[in-house]
């Protein structure tokens, strides 16, 4: 299954910069792993916001939650999940 | 530029089925063309709704509008456009 | 996967009563089938509304959409889908 | 009566982890008791959120409130209650 | 149990006045019966709107729905139900 | 005039318990006085929330504000006021 | 008591112009009467909308409703009422 | 004064095309006049919608309303007006 | 031009009372000045809230902003401005 | 491409004034640079708010984000971006 996921960072503007960097390094590496294993396939910047939209894949909602909550910044993220089904006209169906 | 586009059909439930089919046939062919030319790369069903989310590409908002309004059902569609920027961690950047 | 599904009937208050009854009979039988096959396990009335909440099961969002759109009243239903994951403390896990 | 209950934890991301664990242990045991006595029958994860949907039973809204407020984390929970009535087609009616 | 119920009439401004009057007469008598049997205890005008708030009593949500849907205008009403519990400081507790 | 009033406590979950208790004792006594003088006639629990709905009476909005702001917790309350008019079918009109 | 009242006309854009004019003439005269008797003291255009904000006075919400519903266009109006209290610093208090 | 104005056409998708064209021709000419006289200085497409944002100038809200309501499609437009003040850093201040 | 302005105080409930009083004294005097010069003509209490609605006059939005931001509490106020135009039926037009 | 951008400062009312001034000086100079290079062409005050609307130009959403996030106050800004397309009737098209 595929999911569109919007995540916005609520890390306080005056928060500890060193700790934030540690989290970002960890999560950057974690996203790479998730990309390797096909869980995260796309990530886009939402202009003007500390936020992104992403295209995630998981066998079900529990597996998606496990992936999302493996990020160190997870407690600071406001996350919206859009569950997707297959659409007959999807150009992506041919190439998969 | 890439855009996430949500479109929902407001075609009346009691509308003329024959006319709707004509529109759907036209738009199905049009989407294929837009996929060929790289404008539409993904389309997903929103479960329980007469609606889809799609990943569209265009050089700017005007070109995106031209593509969307080339659908015959355009006057019956409620469309939401999410403008996307490039995200450094995007796994899709490597393969493009 | 399980889903909480809210559906509200938008059938016009002055609509054709005979046709509505046909649809209701069909959909009542269809819901029984879906219950038999384990797709619909619970349905609750939302008091004061022509609406219900239900607990639905499907292998993914596409299968859920197929079940929902097999109702004859589907074009007249406003449907909201809440995707659910497994919760460690769920008392229902023991008995399944 | 049955109720759908959505609860979201507002425990601060930087809160005292030891105290949170104490609360979670207490509430985990309390939920087991409530499940034993038939008050909580189902709990589901809301993916990407520190939140769950649950199916609760109580003789009325006061008894439901008593159950909810017996959780130690209650002051940190944002709770939404959906009151449910009996629906004639509910597959669950047969087996109860 | 008690419920606060908001109902707003969506009867079309250009609707058939004679039929509306028939419905209003029926529902006026029905409300009197519901008041007699203790189901409706208070009704208030919402100024500037074709709407009222009311205080309703029923053994549960199903009985409340039965009372509400016994009104002939029910298909034309937009209804919001607020489920109430007992509050220790309620001055009404003494006199009941 | 009558008013439906919803009040929700925003007292912080980690706030000073002793001070909260002082405020609650004061306000409990104050509500009794307001009930004696006919200003507060009903109060109901909103299940799952630190909130109540109440039925208040006052000669006008200024008098209502004076009553509400006489509570010690007033600065911590989020208050919504619904202004009510007389409804011809109100069963309460007969007994007053 | 004073009230801020927002009213927006929902008269259909393709409605019968002659009938609308009759209603407007009636309501224009009615507003003059209400102004004479001190019920309507100010009316302002909301730019770009078929709507106005007004400052109304009435002894209570029932009297306000009677005034509002005396307009022939009342069934076509969407009305929002803001109940006002006396403010100590109000410059208008001196001149009244 | 300057105003940002969003207007969306609610002309029905199945409306009379000839009449719509007449209105569009009239309004296109009218917008040119308003541009000549400095009332409309910019207009932008909102992609995927039958809507535009514009930058309008008028001496006050009444004059703005007069300009907006001089469009033949005005009764079919949903209009939102954002009132603007002067901002010290505005690059446009130098060139005016 | 006239404006309806809603302002709500976000001064923290536990804030420094002495400092708040200083601000209130300053702003009370400032409002008197603004009333003298015709900028503030009416102020009303919003019952149950630390908020008011007011009727303000200014030559344009910039002058209105200057008046609003001259209050010492301005940084703690959440302000909503409704821009008003002249309405032909306004009873206030005769007396001005 | 052009964008309408609304930015609102969330800098705390009790924040460090000296630090805020440093940020404002930096950002004022930065806005001048962005105006020089044609990225920011207009900025307007939103009356009563610590906020502005602006007209920004960038080759795409990524470049817009780079410009916005080059402000020192960026972490304290709540930003809304409206993506714009070309409108045939735009008076600005002639002069560009």
Alpha-carbon dihedral of residues J66, J71, J74, J80, nearest 10 degrees?
Answer: -60
Say yes or no to pLDDT of H95 above 90: no
Name the one residue in this structure whose structure tokens are 């009704």: E43
Q: What is the pLDDT of residue E96?
A: 59
Q: What size, in residues, is chain D? A: 96
Cα within 13 Å of Cα(I12), Cβ side: 9
Interchain proximity I43–G4, CB inside 8 Å: no
User: Which chain C residues touch A83 with a CB distance below 8 Å?
Assistant: 61, 81, 83
Task: List subunits contacting chain G, requiring 3 or more Cβ pairs under 8 Å.
Answer: E, F, H, I
Range of lowest pLDDT (B45-54, E86-95, F1-10, H56-65) = E86-95
- pTM for this entry: 0.96
Instruction: Provide CB contacts within 8 A for A81, sequence distance 6+.
Output: A3, A4, A5, A61, A64, C83, D47, D48
Q: What is the pLDDT along chain G (96 residues), one digit of tens a residue?
A: 999 999 999 999 999 999 999 999 999 999 999 999 999 999 999 999 999 999 999 999 999 999 999 999 999 999 999 999 999 999 999 765
A19 touches chain J (CB under 8 A): no
Under the banding of pLDDT at 50, 70 and 90, the label for residue F13 is: very high
Say yes or no to pLDDT of H71 above 80: yes
Q: What is the pLDDT of residue C96?
A: 59
Under the banding of pLDDT at 50, 70 and 90, the label for residue D69 is: very high
Q: What is the pLDDT along chain A (96 residues), one digit of tens a residue?
A: 999 999 999 999 999 999 999 999 999 999 999 999 999 999 999 999 999 999 999 999 999 999 999 999 999 999 999 999 999 999 999 765
∠ CA I40-J45-H79, rounded to 5°? 85
Q: What is the pLDDT of residue J94?
A: 79
Under the banding of pLDDT at 50, 70 and 90, the label for residue H96 is: low
Interchain proximity B62–H45, CB inside 8 Å: yes
B17 touches chain C (CB under 8 A): no
- What is the rounded distance in angstroms from the CA atom of residue C32 to the CA atom of residue C34? 5
Chains A and H touch (3+ CB pairs under 8 A): no
* Mean pLDDT calculated for residue range H33-49: 98
Q: What is the 3-state secondary structure (H, E, C) of H34-85?
A: HHHCCCEEEEEECCCCCEEEEEEECCCHHHHHHHHCCCCCHHHEEEEEEECE
- What is the rounded distance in angstroms from the CA atom of residue G29 to the CA atom of residue G44? 17
Interchain proximity I64–H86, CB inside 8 Å: no
Q: What is the pLDDT of residue B94?
A: 79
Say yes or no to pLDDT of J95 above 90: no
Cα within 13 Å of Cα(F96), Cβ side: 10
Tokens of G87: 């403010």
F82 touches chain E (CB under 8 A): yes
Instruction: Provide CB contacts within 8 A for C56, sequence distance 6+.
Output: C2, C3, C4, C5, C39, C40, C41, C64, C67, C68
Q: What is the pLDDT of residue I38?
A: 97
Reported as a single tens digit per residue, the pLDDT across J37-92 is 999 999 999 999 999 999 999 999 999 999 999 999 999 999 999 999 999 999 99
Q: What is the pLDDT of residue E95?
A: 67
Tokens of J19: 């630090």
Reported as a single tens digit per residue, the pLDDT across B69-85 is 999 999 999 999 999 99
Left if phi > 0, otherwise alpha if psi is -120 to 50, otherwise beta: which for J33? alpha
* Mean pLDDT calculated for residue range F61-66: 98
Chain G nearest C-alpha distance from E62 (Å):
32
- Exposed/middle/buried for residue A3 (C-beta within 10 Å: 0-12, 13-18, 19+): buried
Tokens of G66: 């009677």
Best mutation target among A66, A86, A87 (most C Cβ atoms within 10 Å) is A86
Reported as a single tens digit per residue, the pLDDT across F28-42 is 999 999 999 999 999
Q: What is the pLDDT of residue E94?
A: 79
Under the banding of pLDDT at 50, 70 and 90, the label for residue H74 is: very high
Q: Would you give the distance in Å from CA F92 to the centre of its chain?
A: 20
From G64, G65, G75, residue closest to E13, measured CB to CB: G75
Backbone angles phi, psi at B61, to 5 degrees: -65, -30
From H41, H46, H84, residue closest to J53, measured CB to CB: H84
**Percent over 70 (pLDDT), chain D:** 98
Chain H nearest C-alpha distance from I2 (Å):
9
Closest to C43 (Cα-Cα) out of C59, C25, C57: C57
Reported as a single tens digit per residue, the pLDDT across C3-34 is 999 999 999 999 999 999 999 999 999 999 99
What is the largest distance, in Å, between two alpha-carbon atoms of chain E? 48
Q: What is the pLDDT of residue H94?
A: 79
Interchain proximity G48–H62, CB inside 8 Å: no
* Mean pLDDT calculated for residue range D60-80: 98
From E13, E45, E49, residue closest to G79, measured CB to CB: E49
Say yes or no to pLDDT of F82 above 70: yes
- What is the rounded distance in angstroms from the CA atom of residue G19 to the CA atom of residue C57? 54
Q: What is the pLDDT of residue A56?
A: 98
Under the banding of pLDDT at 50, 70 and 90, the label for residue C95 is: low
Best mutation target among C26, C44, C85, C95 (most D Cβ atoms within 10 Å) is C44
* Mean pLDDT calculated for residue range H22-27: 98
**Percent over 90 (pLDDT), chain I:** 97
**Of residues B96 and F48, which shows the higher confidence score?**
F48
J61 touches chain A (CB under 8 A): yes
């Amino acid at each position: 299954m595929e999911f569109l996921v919007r995540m916005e960072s609520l890390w306080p503007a005056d928060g500890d910069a060193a700790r934030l960097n540690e989290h970002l390094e960890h999560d950057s590496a974690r996203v790479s792993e998730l990309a390797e294993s096909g869980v995260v396939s796309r990530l886009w910047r939402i202009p003007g916001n500390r936020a992104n939209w992403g295209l995630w894949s998981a066998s079900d909602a529990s597996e998606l939650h496990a992936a999302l909550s493996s990020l160190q910044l997870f407690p600071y993220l406001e996350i919206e999940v859009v569950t997707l089904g297959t659409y007959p006209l999807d150009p992506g169906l041919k190439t998969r």
